[in-house]
Amino acid sequence: MKFYDTLSNMINKFPYIVSSSVYSALLVSHGIRSHVKLMLHFNDPLCVVFNSDRLRNLRPDMQSTIGFFRKVLSLNFRYRGFRGETVLTPGVSYSKVDLSNLIRNSSNIFFNDDKGIWIDKVHFPKHFKFIIFYPFVDSNVLQLLIKLNAKPIKIASKYKLPGALLTILSNYLDKQEVKCDD
């Protein structure tokens, strides 16, 4: 998930968008979705990572979720020069890294694009990265994605907010997994 704004601006102006992205990707009706690694990248350049296999609990309310991000801002301010990974709690960490460095050596990359192929026409491999850009994709990043042979996927026509797109993507992947198990 790539937000083209700073973490501070996003949680102050659009806390619902940030928090709904987290629980849309990680929560299901009976708990935490397994085998999901959600990376939220901001223009700071901060990257907050939620690893569902290590996450102990996650409350589905905005205040609790935004609390993780406020703690990131606090620690980032305190340790400005530090560039390594910092663990906030089991399953939640953050680091300072550029988006291009995150994806440069990756394979099986997909990204949301209204001009892409419909999601129901795609069979996702077991391990892949899916990038949703909000509110837009930068042309330099798009060129890098093309260079890396990333595939544009259209998730929905009407929905543009990350939380809704992540819910649709997660539901589709659950259906795909069930078909593979049959």
Mean pLDDT per 10-residue section of the chain, whose length is 182 residues:
96 97 90 93 96 89 93 88 85 94 93 97 95 96 96 96 97 81 54
**Rounded to two decimals, what is the model's pTM?**
0.92
Architecture of domain 2-181: 3-Layer(aba) Sandwich (3.40)
Place of tokens 């890396």: 148
Distances (CA, A) of 2 to 54, 56, 123, 179: 22, 25, 23, 30
pLDDT given for residue 84 in this prediction: 85
Give the pLDDT of residue 72. Answer: 94
Return the domain boundaries, the chain.
2-181
Question: How far, in Å, CA of 36 to CA of 60, rounded?
Answer: 16
Q: What is the pLDDT of residue 179?
A: 65
Per-residue model confidence (pLDDT) at position 181: 58
